[in-house]
Amino acid sequence: MPESVTTTGATPPGDPAPSGGSDETKATGATIELENLTKRYPGAADAAVDSVNMEIKAGELVIFVGPSGCGKSTTLKMINRLIEPTGGRIRIGGEDVTDMDSVKLRRKIGYAIQSSGLFPHMTVAQNIALVPRMVGWSKSKIKGRVEEMLDLVGLDPGEFRGRYPRQLSGGQQQRVGVARALAADPPVLLMDEPFGAVDPITRDHLQDELIRLQHELHKTIVFVTHDFDEAIKLGDRIAVLREHSHIAQFDTPEAILTNPADDFVSGFVGAGAALKRLNLTRVRDVEIRDYPTVTVDDPLQDIFDKLRSGKVNEILLLDKRGRPYKWLRRGDMMRARGSLARAGTLVHDTVTRDATLRDALEAVLTDNAGRVAVTGRRGAYEGVVDMQTLMNSVHELLEADRLDAMEHQHELEEQRHAQTLQAQEGGGTGEVPR
């Protein structure tokens, strides 16, 4: 394993936590390096976690994904030393934390678990205030921080501060769990299947929230899940792990989808990689077609003329604020005897530029004419996406991914080649190759 130098702006965990709110521009994440990290339980023949080497950049969201029992949770828990490693080193922000006081270490690492782990005998505010209190923040600072954290995770402080965990829904509990993990502003956040116990709709919301949070905070997040779709949706990079926490592939979601390293990974990716790829691309990334439009304020004659001009047999009618309102076909106006109120079919579905291609495809498939209007700010019309555009873009995407993957592989091979050469030369001078 070559040692590489981390250059990204890292906050060593020893730094005092920035005071709440005012330092939002700071890159708050820290690098995590795992070197030959091993966990061997006494009496067991094989190591539960066998020599994991991994480098996680500051501000990166990395997902550990793998079948149950593969050691992904154990690996995660070794980062904050809830499970003490039996071998290897852990470095956070460049500082070796393998031997530091584990209690102090954990106060600098946020920790969120499945089913929230909130203490039922404490109020929401008390739960969130725990870590700041332990590291000795002043009362007034903690009070402000609790409000800020509740705001951050989308809960109204006035309403939720004084509640007990059992008075919250599963999703709300999970939000508070994340707020508690982030309260003392740790550079690193560990999440152990945090959304495993909530219903699919809530999980979807929580995932969106996490993406938004990460956009604001730029923490280094390590997230464990067994749900590959969740991994694709959230991860900057995904580590697919097999037994004994061996890394089968550690790469971007795109690369894993289009170029799985081996059968194990492709088996884990499952069928429909191309469909999953749609989740990774936004409507803003594909070509949006212009479409002839008229507004309800246009004189009727203009609308007739446009329809009769023959170039198109359908136009989009926008309302007074420029939002898509109705699809008008050539015959519609005649049938409705020139009344705009009665003519045409209402636009029932639109997508924003931030929607995923999967959402767009869904809308296109349900639309009877196979197209969907794209809207921008305040729902204003921006263009149209149809089946043809989607197909073309997906083909282009997959092609580009394949090229990237090939290039990547090529680079890796070259690197490996260089290493072998070096090792051979090094071996000649009596050095032990790494």
Partner 1 sequence: MNFWEYLGSRHQQLLTDAYQHASAVFQCMVVATVIGVLIGVATYRSDWAGSVATTATSTILTIPSLAMIGLLIPIVGLGVAPTVVALTLYGLLPIVRNSIVGLRGVDSTLVDAARGIGMSRTAQLLRVELPLAWPPILTGIRVATQMLMGIAAIAAFASGPGLGNEIFRGIASLGSKNALNQVLAGTLGIVVLALLFDAAYVLIGRLTIPRGIRA
For partner 1, the closer CB: 126 or 252:
126
Query: Which of 65, 97, 105, 221 touches partner 1 (CB under 8 A)?
Result: 105
User: 121 to each of 117, 163, 206, 332, 431, how far by Cα in Å?
Assistant: 12, 10, 24, 65, 60
E strand or H helix at 314: strand 314-318
Q: In angstroms, rounded to a whole number, what is the distance separating the alpha carbons of residues 90 and 84?
A: 11
Query: Which of 111, 195, 264, 325 touches partner 1 (CB under 8 A)?
Result: 111
**Residues 166-195, interacting with partner 1 (CB under 8 A):** 166, 180-181, 190
Decide if residue 121 touches partner 1 (CB under 8 A).
yes
Q: How many residues bind partner 1 (CB under 8 A)?
A: 29
Interior/surface letters 202-223, b for 16+ CB within 10 angstroms, e for the rest? bbebbbebbeebbeebbbbbbb
Q: Are 404 and 253 in contact (CB under 8 A)?
A: no
Q: In angstroms, rounded to a whole number, what is the distance separating the alpha carbons of residues 177 and 242?
A: 29
- Judged by CB under 8 A, which stretch of 103-111, 145-153, 314-322, 379-387 contacts partner 1? 103-111
Q: Which among 63, 84, 107, 98 is positioned nearest to 220, based on CA atoms?
A: 63
- Cβ neighbors of 182 (< 8 A, separation 6 or more) are 110, 149, 152, 189, 213, 217, 219
- Cβ neighbors of 5 (< 8 A, separation 6 or more) are none
CA dihedral 47, 53, 59, 64 (to 10 degrees): -40
Query: Which of 86, 115, 202, 207 touches partner 1 (CB under 8 A)?
Result: 115
CA dihedral 146, 147, 148, 150 (to 10 degrees): 80
Query: Which of 13, 71, 85, 165 touches partner 1 (CB under 8 A)?
Result: 165
Query: Which of 74, 123, 172, 258 touches partner 1 (CB under 8 A)?
Result: 123
Minimum separation from the CB atom of position 393 to partner 1 (A): 43
Residue 169: how many other CB atoms lie within 10 Å? 11
- Judged by CB under 8 A, which stretch of 160-168, 262-270, 374-382, 417-425 contacts partner 1? 160-168
Decide if residue 114 touches partner 1 (CB under 8 A).
yes
Minimum separation from the CB atom of position 203 to partner 1 (A): 19
For partner 1, the closer CB: 108 or 276:
108
Name the token pair of 200.
Answer: 């699919």
Decide if residue 130 touches partner 1 (CB under 8 A).
yes
Decide if residue 131 touches partner 1 (CB under 8 A).
yes
Helix-helix angle 170-182:200-217, to 10 degrees? 20
Looking at residue 255, its amino acid is A
- Judged by CB under 8 A, which stretch of 117-125, 231-239, 315-323, 365-373 contacts partner 1? 117-125
For partner 1, the closer CB: 168 or 307:
168
Decide if residue 304 touches partner 1 (CB under 8 A).
no
Query: Which of 12, 67, 117, 196 touches partner 1 (CB under 8 A)?
Result: 117
Decide if residue 423 touches partner 1 (CB under 8 A).
no
Dihedral pair phi/psi, residue 365, rounded to 5°: -65, -35
Decide if residue 104 touches partner 1 (CB under 8 A).
yes
Decide if residue 80 touches partner 1 (CB under 8 A).
yes
Residue 267: how many other CB atoms lie within 10 Å? 12
For partner 1, the closer CB: 132 or 344:
132
Query: Which of 89, 106, 306, 323 touches partner 1 (CB under 8 A)?
Result: 106
Decide if residue 48 touches partner 1 (CB under 8 A).
no
For partner 1, the closer CB: 120 or 299:
120
Decide if residue 164 touches partner 1 (CB under 8 A).
yes
Name the token pair of 208.
Answer: 């969106």
The contact set with partner 1 (CB under 8 A) reads 80, 82, 103-109, 111, 113-115, 117-123, 130-131, 134, 164-166, 180-181, 190
